[in-house]
Structures are given as structure tokens and as C-alpha cells.
């Protein structure tokens, strides 16, 4: 699927027919959005831009030289967009190509940032006079969504912390939930750092006009604040995880303390029972009251051990 935004008599028109590229000039094309494009759509865009589009494998490269590079006419940018799911998050690669004043985007999944900018572009085209401005609009919208995502994660961390403070049952499943939240936080931070590198590269480029430098600096400050927030959230999760592990260890120690205490209480009567169970002549036996005498001695030993433990605050 392709969506072509182009100027026609001072108005922004939208076309989803790849044949439109043969009827417009390159200077009129504002944004070519390729969503799961076919081979014919890719070849038509390459012929229109006189450049080569990036493959999905190139977009997923993690090396800095592959994430951002330029040639004499175009700027190639590869980045990742985070898609939140019910349990975990996914990273989807997106490619951008800026050729003169035209932005070309290549993606495989629907993204809210793109939908929002497309709606704004048709509503108020004066805010996006070039492809670079559209790209900055997408990044600004994406950063706002990331900020909302981080805020929701902070609220979720707060709920977990409140559950621990209220003394709710913390078990293995609770600990696994915290671990999953840590993984999501790391992915959010990785996604934001990728945007920071991308914006810094655009800012340092000779092809970037001075008119957008101020907006890029503002975006960098926003990204830096989000990175600090994610670092704080991760530290909270580590503290919460250590607290939960400490509570679990305390509960286990209490159980072991009970077993140890019971074992210690039974040691004296066990010793007495084993002595009087020997097949030899022993004192205090030989009458009808032997069972009561031995039982009383065993009970006295248990009570004596109990009194000693209580006086030494071992219970």
C-alpha cells in the first residue's frame, strides 16, 4: 500500500494509486508513505526518486553507519518504533529517506504516529512545508506517545509497590511480573535512546536547515528527560524486586524457624524415650507407674526448653 501526499494548486492531495507518481513532479511530492509495499510500488518510488529503497534487513541493522547515512542527494534513516502489547513490547523497524523536500517512509505495521500526522497534514498543511517537517512531526508525536507509555509504566510500578506495602501475598508470579516490567522498561529506554541518536544525527547534518535546529534541540531535551525518567523507573523496579526477594526470604526463614523450634523441643523427650527404651535396668522403672513417670519427665523437658527459648527471645 502506498499513500502519496503532494501539492496541487496550493492544496495537499492524497492518492493511493502508484500511477500518480508519473503525473506529478518530484518537487510537488511531499510524503510517500509505503506500508507493506509491493515490489511494483517499490520500483515505482525508486524510479521517481532516482534512488534505491532500503530493504527490511538493512533497516534492522544496529550499526551506527547503517542507522543513519547520507549521499549527495538523500538522507537515509533507520529507526525503531515501540508497539506496546498486553504483556510485552515489540520493536518494529521503520526507514525514512529524505530526498530534497520529499519524505519517503517504509514500514510493515500500522503506527499511530503516522496516522496522526497524516490527519494533521490534511487538516493544516502549512505546518508541514517539507518532508523534513513531516519527519519532525512524526518524531514529536512518537516522543509524546513514549512519554504517555512511561507514565503508565510508572503508575503500574506504583501499584506493585502499594501491594507490597499493604502486605499482600508476594509469590513467584508476582516476581515474574516485576521482571517482565523491567524488560519492558529496558525496551522503552532502548527505543528512546535510538530516537536520541537519530535526532542528534539530523541536527549535525549539513542538509538540515537552520530553521528547524531549535525544534530539534527541544526534542533532544524532551528525549533526555524521558531517558532520566526510565532510569528512575528501572531503579524503582530493582528496589521493589529486592524488597520482594527480602520478604520471600523472611517468610522462608519463619517457616524454617518453626521447624527448627519444633525439632529442638522434641530433642529432650526423644533422648529420654530412647534411654528408657533400652533393654537394661534403669532407675525409676519397675512399677505400675512407669509410663506416667517417664511421660512426666519428657513433659518437664519440653516445658524447660520452652521457658529457656522464651527468656532468650528466641521465639
The per-residue pLDDT for 285 is: 61
Burial of 273 (C-beta count, 10 Å sphere; 0-12/13-18/19+): middle
Strand pairing class (102-107; 29-35) = parallel
The per-residue pLDDT for 286 is: 61
The per-residue pLDDT for 126 is: 78
The per-residue pLDDT for 287 is: 60
The per-residue pLDDT for 66 is: 63
Q: Give bridge partners of residue 78 from the DSSP assignment.
A: 95
Calpha distance 251→172 (Å, rounded): 13
Q: How confident is the model at residue 284 (pLDDT cuts 50, 70, 90)?
A: low
The per-residue pLDDT for 231 is: 86
- What CATH number matches the domain at 2-248, 3.20.190.10, 3.30.460.20, 3.40.50.300, 3.40.50.80? 3.30.460.20
Cβ–Cβ under 8 Å, residues 68 and 76: yes
pLDDT tens-digit profile of 256-270? 877 777 777 777 777
The per-residue pLDDT for 142 is: 87
Q: Which residue has the higher pLDDT, 172 or 41?
A: 41
Among 37-51, 137-151, 231-245, 275-289, the range with the most confident prediction by mean pLDDT is: 137-151
Query: Average pLDDT, stretch 126-135?
Result: 82
Cβ–Cβ under 8 Å, residues 216 and 198: no
Calpha distance 237→158 (Å, rounded): 10
Strands of the sheet with 68-70, listed across from one edge: 11-15, 2-8, 29-35, 102-107, 89-99, 74-84, 68-70
Calpha distance 289→275 (Å, rounded): 17
Does 62 have pLDDT greater than 60?
no
Cβ–Cβ under 8 Å, residues 304 and 269: no
The per-residue pLDDT for 276 is: 64
The per-residue pLDDT for 314 is: 61
* Rg from Cα positions in the chain: 35
pLDDT tens-digit profile of 29-52? 888 888 888 888 888 887 877 877
Q: Give bridge partners of residue 68 from the DSSP assignment.
A: 77
Query: Average pLDDT, stretch 212-219?
Result: 86
Cell digits of residue 261: 523450634
Cβ–Cβ under 8 Å, residues 104 and 49: yes
Cell digits of residue 63: 550499526
* Dihedral pair phi/psi, residue 180, rounded to 5°: -65, -35
User: Whats the size of the chain, residue-wise?
Assistant: 315
Cell digits of residue 79: 529507526
Cell digits of residue 247: 520478604
User: Where in the chain are the domains?
Assistant: 2-248, 249-311
Amino acid at each position: 500500500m502506498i499513500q502519496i501526499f503532494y501539492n496541487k494548486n496550493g492544496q495537499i492531495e492524497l492518492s493511493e494509486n502508484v500511477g500518480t507518481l508519473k503525473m506529478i513532479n518530484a518537487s510537488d511530492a511531499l510524503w510517500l508513505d509505503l506500508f507493506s509495499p509491493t515490489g511494483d510500488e517499490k520500483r515505482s518510488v525508486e524510479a521517481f526518486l532516482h534512488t534505491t529503497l532500503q530493504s527490511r534487513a538493512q533497516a534492522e541493522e544496529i550499526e551506527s553507519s547503517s542507522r543513519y547515512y547520507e549521499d549527495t542527494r538523500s538522507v537515509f534513516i533507520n529507526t525503531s518504533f515501540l508497539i506496546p502489547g498486553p504483556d510485552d513490547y515489540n520493536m518494529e523497524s521503520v526507514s525514512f529517506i529524505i530526498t530534497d523536500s520529499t519524505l519517503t517512509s517504509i514500514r510493515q505495521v500500522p503506527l499511530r504516529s503516522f496516522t496522526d500526522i497524516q490527519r494533521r497534514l490534511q487538516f493544516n498543511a502549512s505546518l508541514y512545508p517539507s518532508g523534513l517537517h513531516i519527519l519532525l512531526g512524526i518524531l514529536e508525536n512518537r516522543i509524546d506517545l513514549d512519554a504517555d507509555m512511561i507514565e503508565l509504566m510508572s503508575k503500574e510500578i506504583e501499584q506493585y509497590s502499594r501491594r507490597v506495602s499493604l502486605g499482600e501475598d508476594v509469590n513467584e508470579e508476582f516476581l515474574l511480573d516485576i521482571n517482565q516490567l523491567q524488560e519492558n522498561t529496558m525496551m522503552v529506554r532502548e527505543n528512546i535512546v535510538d530516537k536520541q541518536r537519530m535526532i542528534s544525527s539530523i541536527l549535525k547534518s549539513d542538509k538540515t536547515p537552520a530553521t528547524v535546529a531549535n525544534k530539534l534541540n527541544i526534542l533532544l531535551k524532551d528525549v533526555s528527560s524521558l531517558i532520566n525518567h526510565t532510569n528512575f523507573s528501572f531503579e524503582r523496579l530493582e528496589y521493589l524486586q529486592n524488597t520482594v526477594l527480602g520478604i520471600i526470604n523472611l517468610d522462608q526463614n519463619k517457616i524454617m524457624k518453626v521447624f527448627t523450634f519444633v525439632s529442638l523441643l522434641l530433642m529432650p523427650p526423644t533422648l529420654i524415650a530412647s534411654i528408657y527404651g533400652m533393654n537394661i535396668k534403669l532407675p525409676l522403672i519397675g512399677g505400675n507407674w512407669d509410663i506416667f513417670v517417664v511421660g512426666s519427665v519428657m513433659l518437664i523437658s519440653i516445658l524447660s526448653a520452652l521457658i529457656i527459648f522464651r527468656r532468650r527471645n528466641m521465639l
